[in-house]
Amino acid sequence: MPSCAGILMVEEHYALDPVDLKIIELLKKDGRMPFVELGKRVGLSEAAVRRRVKMLQERGIIKRFTVEVDEGFQVSAVIFLQFESSSLPGEILEKIAKVPGVRAIYELTGRFDAMVMIAASKISELNERIDRIRAIEGVKSTETAVVLRVIS
């Protein structure tokens, strides 16, 4: 273990510099951008960019590269749910997860018990999916907000 002025250094910390942040920003926009192109944009060689990306992965800063698929969803909504006090939230959330178009489910504290992000190809389909969620036993009430535009 390295030490510094009598202090035992337990773990090596890594601070992101502006180049790392720019690489991350570029990869968020295009996870398949070649290292050569990344290098041109940040002013480094292909090999230097490759080393930095590998290090960012090894340290868990870049967790994975993914594919975004356009499933034809044109309408999105956020549904806030309240459950019956006698219900089992885990069972309700498992049923909600099976509804087509559900993108994310968050269990919450406060006024609402859960928040669901859902998408559909048209508003009538979205309404049908919301009705399916409302019909699940244990769901006491819902409040839905249709997404007008995505900022980021």
Q: What is the pLDDT of residue 47?
A: 96
pLDDT digits (tens, 9 = 90+) for 36-58: 999 999 999 999 999 999 988 88
CA distance 60 to 57: 5
The third-level CATH classification (topology) of the domain covering 3-58 is Arc Repressor Mutant, subunit A (1.10.10)
Q: What is the pLDDT of residue 4?
A: 44
Contact call for residues 115 and 79 (beta carbons, < 8 A): yes
Q: Note whether 3-58 and 75-146 share their fold.
A: no
Instruction: Provide mean pLDDT across the span 107-118.
Output: 96
Q: Does the pTM of the predicted model rise above 0.75?
A: no
Read off the pLDDT band of 11 (50, 70, 90). very low
Relative orientation angle of helices 35-42 and 46-58, to the nearest 10 degrees: 100
- Domain ranges for the chain: 3-58, 75-146
Domain spanning 75-146 has what CATH number? 3.30.70.920
Among 73, 72, 76, 80, smallest CA distance to 115 is for 80
